[in-house]
Structure 1
Amino acid sequence: MRLRSVFFALSFLLMLGLMPLLSAAHDGHVVYVAKIDGTITEYTADQFARYIDIAEMNHAEALIIELNTPGGLGDAMMRIVSEIQNSTVPVVIYVAPRGAIAASAGTYIAMGSHLIAMAPGTSIGACEPILGYAKNGSIIKAPEKIRNFYTAYMRSLAQESGRNQTAAVEFITEDLSLTPEEALKAHVIEVVANDVPDLLKKANGMRTRIPVDDRGYVTFNFTNARVVTLEPSIKDELINFITNPSIAYVLLNLGIIGLIFGFLTPGWHVPETVGAILLVLGLIGLGYFGYNSAGLLLIVLAMIFFIAEALTPTFGLFAVAGTVTFILGGIILFGSNGGVYLVSESTYHLLRIAIVVMAILLGLFFLFGAAAVVRAHRRKPEAGKEEMIGEVGKVVEDLDPEGVIKLHGELWKARSRDGSVIRVGERVKVVEVNGLTLTVERFEGGE
């Protein structure tokens, strides 16, 4: 009986201790803040879904996404917009920090959100859809049919949220970009805020621009709201890094180079191990961003040319062929593969530079460096006593005909080749090694 009483007392105290936590979790005044930084991919859509789930499970007042992106995949963008519009928690897109952009796919995501805020020094817009690189290296603009679809989609998002439809359409047709002040004046965004606390203060009492799922329009109550930051996991950080197309491309090629170098110089195992890791990371990054497999095959062909140059030097023939094939492979790798990219053209300009620079560096390396490394590695090593033949030492104990010489800082027993006497201080050259005795002759090569 006494144990039962103690048990109930402890349970009562435990409930009293948990009540404040339960109340805090359900009082509607918790605001979650998460960051999305980098290219918009299918993994980004998974991040959005995960952050929204956390906010919903904890009945948050709002989820604030600090967004900084040059854009990304059209399909991933539409999935994110759908996640936002089906969320039971208002999602605020905050273009931040200073210097951040919400370009291309990022603009669509913002226009589909419940509230848009921007930090000073940021920008939003430039949403023209593209299909990647053409074979001549120019950027392929999406055909009229695709442009019309995305224009209508953007107009629909603006219309639903009551934002400026004219500016929204010009984001696509004119590649319009706006500063925070211009966007606020044009009724594209609702708040310009220096940081999250400033955003909460300015947005307090505002109403969502679109209905929240199952709740209708919601008025924000950020008074005494508790801010909880959702930190990205190590996996998030890694994948966001490698899904940058330029980074993924460099990792892919460094991985292939590592494998080649390891196979050409067996025995060390480090190059091929590191190369395999980098190759897998590059393929994962490209897989999230999208690539054309024909371009990958051309890059492999270029590496075969480079290997041929290293093994059978042709005075640059294979190196030049590899460089040209490598550039074509890089361009086709990011060519049209059936998907639509909503990414700023600056991303593709940077990618083009990475392709050309990487190709030239690889060509020069395999032309001048790799062949020499392979030859040096394959040269039969000269070690032990055999390498002493031809070396010059100094007599430290008369050879009559045997004595002692100093060679490479070590003392060796030596015998004169013709039986002659060689005095202390004279220089001798090794002509034969017999066990621990060196056969030498007088060296007349000067000091």
Structure 2
Amino acid sequence: LDIDTPGGRIDAAERIADAVGASTIPVYAYVNPRAYSAGALIALSARGIYMRPGAVLGAATPVDGGGVKASEKMVSAMRGEFRALAEARGLDPRVAEAMVDERVEVPGVNAAGRLLTLSTNEALRVGYAKAAVGSESDLLRAIGLPNARVVTIEPNWAEQVVRFLTNPLVSPLLLSLGVLGLVIEIKTGAFGLGGLISLASLGLFFGSSFLIGLAGWEEVILLGLGLLAIAVEVFVLPGFGAAGLLGAAAVAAAVLLALIGGAPSVGDVTQALIVLGASLTITVAVAYAWIRHLPNSGRFSGLILRGGSDQSEGYIAAPARGDLLGLEGIALTDLRPAGTAQIGPERVDVVTEGEYVPQGRTVRVVRSEGYRHVVRGLE
């Protein structure tokens, strides 16, 4: 296991260390040239540690994303993990603990108040490194496999795609597209392009987080329930009420949980809030630009009718239907708010003043403006 890392997420390092420790195939760690923090935990889980000349191992105090030392509880837990790994490998556990907690003193190795980081020579002296090796071929000879065929494992294309999708610069864009798609669905009240964009964007966001272990089935289920509540609000209960608010809250909670993963530190939560803030900023900016500038753009101006007609000019788009005013009829479809009603002998396209009117309810025409006939539901 060729290690060169300044550290990383504790939960990810623990999963790697568990996999290395449970492997039935001997796994050796090659520090090439640094194994700080989480890297030290992974190195200690291997059957043996080999180091390149001039390499370093240690400095494993858990910190948050801002470099601030974690709580005493977290430090104590990490000390225990390092101590257990050292004991399992027959190494001095005090040396491992001193890598995590600067209060641990190992005579002849470090002074109290100084966090321990071992150089290659120091690791050899205290027995943590089996040998200093300068190349891969030297390492193979050291472990008794001089003629072994070397197969280097690199991230495949799928892993590269997941890494791209979980990049802090990309994930806010996916979230923004997902939210904008939901807004379009809520505004239109019908499933269309906005819904497809939203499902695709949220699917990529949660799918990539799920594959790297940040999101679990809990987040996926929470997202599904949130989207279901929003769908109920859009297609069953018109307007934007309790179901829509609960659905939006569930989606937001699922997103936050997918960003912070398990056992989050203050830094993880901070980074998640930054991603959410960036996503919100992008969403608001795009929505504003869409509303403010889209009608004036040359590409999309043809979508919006700017011309008008006046009866004094001798023509009008449609005659007023004053004969319909005050008439009552039956809603032939659900009015959400638009639909069809039977007014006298005619089937008429109608729209309410915003309220939902179910199919079969009696309605009255309160306004007629060309082809637009406004009705009001009667109890």
Q: Under a length normalisation based on structure 1, what TM-score does the superposition of the two structures give?
A: 0.44
Letter in 2 for 1:93: A
What are the superposed Cα offsets for residues 218-242 of structure 1, whole Å, 9 maximum, x if unpaired?
xx21323221223433333334554
Shift of 1:83: 3.4
Evaluate the alpha carbon distance shift between residue 179 and residue 346 of structure 1 in structure 2; reply closer, same or farther with a 3 A threshold: farther
Once the 2 structures are TM-superposed, how far is the Cα of residue 81 of structure 1 from its aligned partner?
A: 3.3
Displacement of 1:281 in angstroms is: 2.2
With over 3 angstroms needed to count, the CA separation of the structure-2 counterparts of 1:124 and 1:274, relative to structure 1, is farther
- Paired residues of 1:251 and 1:279 also in contact (CA < 8 A): no
Paired residues, number: 270
* 1:88 alignment counterpart: 24
Give the deviation of 1:372 after TM superposition: 1.9
Instruction: Tell me if the contact between 2:35 and 2:57 (Cα under 8 Å) persists in the aligned partners.
Output: yes
Q: Could you tell me which residue of structure 2 aligns to residue 126 of structure 1?
A: 60
- Name the CA shift for 1:152/1:360 in 2 (closer, same or farther; >3 Å): same
Q: Does 1:289 align with 2:214?
A: yes
Distance 1:356 1:121 in 2: 40
- Residue 199, structure 1, aligned to residue 136, structure 2: yes
SS at match of 2:29: strand
Structure 2 equivalent of residue 319 of structure 1: none
Q: Which amino acid aligns with 1:199?
A: E
**1:112 matched to which residue of 2?**
45
Identity rate, percent: 18
Distance 1:278 1:123 in 2: 41
What per-residue deviation string (whole Å, max 9, x for no partner) do you get for residues 79-104 of structure 1? Answer: 543433343321123455x7x76533
1:170 and 2:98 matched? yes
Q: 1:334 to 1:92 in 2, by over 3 A?
A: same
SS at match of 1:225: coil
Cα gap change, 1:122/1:252 in structure 2, threshold over 3 Å: closer, same or farther? farther
Residue of 293, 301, 305 corresponding to 1:382: 305
Map 1:345-360 → 2, pairs under 5 A = 351=272, 353-360=274-281
Q: Residue 164 of structure 1 contacts residue 186 of structure 1 at CA under 8 Å; is this kept in 2?
A: no
Residues 227, 247 of structure 1: alpha-carbon distance in 2 compared, 3 angstrom cutoff: same
> Which aligned pairs between 1:6-21 and structure 2 lie closer than 5 A?
none
User: What is the DSSP-based 3-state SS (H/G/I as helix, E as strand, rest coil) of the residue aligned with 2:25?
Assistant: coil
| Contact 1:192–1:199, Cα closer than 8 Å, also in 2 | no
Deviations 1:201-228 (Å, cap 9, x if unpaired)?
14623xxxxxxxxxxxxxx213232212
The 1:350/1:374 distance shift into structure 2, 3 A limit, reads: same
Amino acid corresponding to residue 280 of structure 1 in structure 2: G
Q: Partner of 1:224: helix, strand, or coil?
A: coil
Q: Could you say which residue in structure 2 is the equivalent of 1:276? A: 199
Q: What SS does the corresponding residue of 1:116 show, helix, strand or coil? A: strand
Q: Does 1:229 align with 2:152?
A: yes
* 2:80 partner letter: A
Task: Indicate conservation of the 8 Å contact 1:252/1:279, yes or no.
Answer: yes
Counterpart position of 1:253: 175
Larger radius of gyration: 1
Higher strand share: 1
Are 2:83 and 1:160 aligned? no
Amino acid at match of 1:256: G
Between the aligned partners of 1:192 and 1:247, the Cα distance in structure 2 is 40
| Structure 2 runs not aligned, ≥5 long | 103-113, 231-248, 316-379
The root-mean-square deviation of aligned C-alpha atoms, in Å, is 5.4
The answer (yes or no) to whether the contact 2:21–2:46 under 8 Å persists in 1 is: yes
Q: How far does the alpha carbon of each residue in 1:130-149 deviate from its partner, in whole angstroms, 9 at most, with x for none?
A: 7x9xxxx99894563x5434
Which amino acid in 1 is paired with 2:214?
F
Question: How far 1:166 sits from its partner (Å)?
Answer: 3.4
Cα distance change of structure 1 residues 379 and 177 upon mapping to structure 2, 3 Å threshold? farther
Answer whether contact 1:128 1:171 (CA < 8 A) is retained.
no
Counterpart of 1:13? none
User: Cα offset for 1:355?
Assistant: 4.2
- 1:316-355 aligned within 5 A: 333=257, 339-341=262-264, 351=272, 353-355=274-276
The structure showing larger relative contact order (alpha-carbon pairs under 8 Å, at least 6 residues apart) is: 1
Question: Are the aligned partners of 2:51 and 2:120 in contact in 1 as well (CA < 8 Å)?
Answer: no
CA contact (8 A) 1:201 1:222 kept: no
Indicate the SS of the match to 1:289. coil
Does the 8 A contact of 1:72 with 1:289 survive in 2?
Answer: no
SS at match of 1:204: helix
**1:372 is matched with which residue: 271, 284, 292?**
292
Equivalence for 2:242: none
Change beyond 3 A, Cα 1:182–1:280: farther
Q: Taking structure 2 as the reference length, what is the TM-score of the superposition?
A: 0.50
CA distance in 2 between counterparts of 1:232 and 1:191 reads 29
Alpha-carbon distance change, 340 to 333 in structure 1, aligned in 2, over 3 angstroms: closer
Task: Please state whether the residue corresponding to 2:152 is helix, strand or coil.
Answer: strand
Q: 1:231 to 1:192 in 2, by over 3 A?
A: same
Is the CA contact 2:59–2:115 (under 8 Å) kept in the aligned structure 1?
Answer: yes
Aligned to 2:335: none
Describe the shift of the 1:258–1:165 C-alpha distance in structure 2 as closer, same or farther (beyond 3 A): same
Q: 2:124 and 2:314 mapped to 1: Cα distance?
A: 92
Shift of the 346–147 alpha-carbon distance from structure 1 to 2, 3 Å rule, reads: closer
- CA distance 1:374–1:126, change in 2 (3 Å): farther
Query: Superposition pairs for residues 425-440 of structure 1, below 5 Å?
Result: none
3-state DSSP of counterpart to 2:150 = strand
CA contact (8 A) 1:81 1:112 kept: yes
